[in-house]
Amino acid sequence: MRPSLVRLSLPANILGAFVTFAYFRFVDPMVMATGRRPDVPEIAFFIVASAVLIVVGHRLGIAWMRPLSSGPTPSAPVTVPIRRRALQVPWAIASLTLVGWTLAGLIWGVFWPLFTGTFEPAHALRMAFGINIVAGFAATVFVFFAVEHQWRRQLPQFFPDGGVTEVRGVPRLPVRVRLLVISLLLSVIPVAVLGVLASNRARAALDAGPEAADAIVANMLVSVVFLAVVAIVVSIVISLYVSRSVAEPLGRLATAMAEVGRGDFTVRCPVVSNDEIGAVTEGFNHMVRGLAEREFLRETFGKYVSQEIRDEILAGRVALEGQLRDATILFADLRDFTPWVEASDPREVVRDLNAYFTEMETAIRNHGGLVLQYIGDEIEAVFGAPVNQPRHPEHAVRAAQEMRARLSAWNAARQRMGRPPLRNGIGVHTGVVLAGNIGSADRLSYALVGDPVNVASRIQGLTKELATDVLVSGTTRARLNGELPLTPLPSVRVKGRTAEIEVYALG
């Protein structure tokens, strides 16, 4: 690929030579007119000089590209100088082309006339205009955009993590400058060439007779048509490369944006230039990485709270600094946990606990609850905070129902594998609590503070004494619609409270 980039300048130089020949043959023939045929030394000089320019330019291009020939490898990481050189490839090869055409103008417009004693400043300027401006400028522009188009396929491998626009010491070609260069090439130069053609033909027609003048005018029309065809062909070719240099990166960017719109945050758009489009593309990649990180945090956060609560918190609609909330608290605790741990392999205990917690938390989430924490084998959950739920007492009791059903199904599967079943006790209580982020300056957790939390925990402890698995307080019972099967039990006094509380067993 890299040597082919250097060889890519060959057709451009051949096209430039053809344009030079056409210019001095049809537009400004008097510059080359000597009244004699070129002799052998003159022909040999032109051949040798052209060959030397081509070979030296090709060798210099290959030597300049050599540090990039192997590409980045694990043993040879991409350094800043290599990245800078990679960005300079189109400029370097175009510069070699420009230098070659400048030397050609000096050789055939100055050095050879001085050597033969035919040097005239006016002819040297006209020769320089035909070689350097008309042909050399067009060839240089074509080489730049052609090499840039091909090299963009290789450039991203030198910037796997982006940063194209951050490399210093590299010329930038803004989009407006690209358009300005093409405007000059496609408007100013053809107009100047036609002006030279018209001036020369008009001067020749004035010096000739009437019949010769008619022939000169007819010849000028043919020359104008020929120049128009050449200008159109050159314009189309160069315009295609320029339009691609702008349209292709924008097209890839539009495609990548569509992928992001469909939820794919792994997409990246290759940055292939250091102009405005490259800056926009790098900004797009940074944005997508930020969206991917945000989505990762969002999904990770969703493992700790329900999706609804997660979305409310991330949207800023939930105050976490602390507020009084009417909520229902649920505590669930495993029975005979200590003997089971002592009789089981620790790894098996961890696996079983994780499976048990998964089943219980699924039931809690299904009814809009939030698991606040796992304390050993105990679960603390809340309904109605941080997102308000008007029917949070009912949601909590129905979650307890589903927890019972899931535990029964899970135990059935365990018994089929020869493992002992597990039992738990669940306590549910409703009241006003202080909810918010509580903790140290370095670590916070969303927690509840208040007497209802203690009561809910005590009610859960009563399930052992009252030989039932789910107990609901009278406060929660009073907030239900009567559809749930609750059996009243004798009022009990719990630790920390002087008054007895009503409790109900969930049927």
pTM of this prediction exceeds 0.85:
no
Residues 304-323: what's their mean pLDDT? 69
* Any domain includes 483: yes
**Total domains present in the chain:** 2
Task: Output the CA–CA distances (angstroms, integers) from residue 407 to 304, 337, 354, 452, in the order listed.
Answer: 21, 15, 13, 26
Within 32-168, residue ranges assigned H as helices are 40-65, 80-87, 89-106, 112-116, 121-128, 137-151
Rounded mean pLDDT, 407-436: 94
225 and 327, same structural domain?
no
Instruction: Identify the band that residue 470 occupies on the pLDDT scale cut at 50, 70 and 90.
Output: very high
Helices 89-106, 40-65: axis angle to 10 degrees equals 160
- Does residue 43 sit within a domain? yes
**Concatenated DSSP letters of 333-372:** EESSHHHHHHTS-HHHHHHHHHHHHHHHHHHHHHTT-EEE
- Domain shared by 243 and 346, yes or no: no
In a domain, 286, yes or no: no
Q: For residue 73, what pLDDT band results from cuts at 50, 70 and 90?
A: low
- 38 and 147 assigned to the same domain: yes
Residue 301: pLDDT band with limits 50, 70, 90: low
Q: CB-hemisphere CA count at 13 Å for 113?
A: 20
Cα–chain-centroid distance for residue 42?
59
182 and 323 part of one domain: no
Q: Residue 82 contacts by C-beta under 8 Å, 6 or more apart in sequence?
A: 67, 68, 72, 158
Give me 195's structure tokens. Answer: 């002006």
Confidence band for 62, pLDDT divided at 50, 70 and 90: confident
58 and 194 belong to one structural domain: yes
Q: Is residue 287 part of a domain?
A: no
Q: Which residue has the tokens 């918010």?
A: 436
- 253 in the same domain as 385: no
107 within domain boundaries: yes
Percent of the chain topping pLDDT 90: 33
489 or 7, which is more confident? 489
Spatial CB neighbours of 193, under 8 Å, sequence gap ≥ 6:
23, 27, 134, 227, 231
**What's the confidence (pLDDT) of residue 308?**
62
In the predicted model, is pLDDT for residue 3 greater than 70?
A: no
User: In the listed set 219, 244, 261, which residue is the last one of a domain according to the structure?
Assistant: 261
pLDDT of residue 230: 75
**pLDDT value for 208:** 75
Is the per-residue pLDDT at 450 higher than 90? yes
The overall average pLDDT reported for the chain is: 85
Is residue 353 over pLDDT 70?
A: yes
> Rounded to an integer, what distance in angstroms lies between the CA atom of residue 394 and that of residue 218?
100
* Least confidently predicted of 239-243, 386-390, 399-403: 239-243
Same domain? 374 vs 237: no
Token reading at 43? 């022909």
Task: Check whether residue 483 and residue 343 sit in a common domain.
Answer: yes
Percent of the chain at pLDDT above 70? 91
**Residues 196 and 59 reside in one and the same domain:** yes
- Report yes or no on 404 lying in a domain: yes
Residue 193 included in any domain: yes
3-state DSSP of 158-184: HCCCCCHHHCCCCCCCCHHHHHHHHHH
Residue 245 and residue 338 in one domain: no
CATH number, position 429: 3.30.70.1230
The last residue of one of the domains, among 237, 261, 285, is 261
Q: Residue 411 — pLDDT band, cuts 50, 70, 90? A: very high
273 has a pLDDT exceeding 60: yes
Among candidate residues 391, 417, 423, 421, the one with its CA nearest the CA of residue 404: 423
Range of the domain at 462: 317-506
pLDDT at 484: 93
Same-domain check for residues 359 and 222: no
pLDDT of residue 335: 92
* Phi, psi angle pair for 434, to nearest 5°: -95, 115
Helix (H) or strand (E) holding 22: helix 9-22
Question: Cα separation of 413 and 411, whole Å?
Answer: 5
Taking 70 as the threshold, does the pLDDT of residue 179 lie above it? yes
Whether residue 179 sits in one domain with residue 89: yes
- Residue that is last in its domain, among 240, 261, 282: 261
Provide the token pair at 281: 């593309």
pLDDT digits 0-9 by tens, 82-91: 889 889 989 9
Give the pLDDT confidence of 99-147 residue by residue, as tens digits: 999 998 888 888 888 887 778 888 888 888 888 888 888 888 888 888 8
Q: How many angstroms separate the Cα of 273 from the Cα of each of 92, 173, 180, 241?
A: 15, 9, 18, 14
pLDDT reading at 310 higher than 80: no
Question: Phi and psi dihedrals of 249, rounded to 5?
Answer: -60, -40
DSSP class of 265: T
- Taking 70 as the threshold, does the pLDDT of residue 37 lie above it? no
Is the pLDDT at 200 greater than 90? The verdict is no
Peptide bond into 38 cis (omega under 30): no
Answer yes or no: is 64 within a domain.
yes
pLDDT at 215 over 90: no
Where is average pLDDT lowest: 201-215, 236-250, 281-295?
Answer: 201-215
Question: Please, which pLDDT band fits residue 382 given cuts at 50, 70 and 90?
Answer: very high
259 has a pLDDT exceeding 60: yes
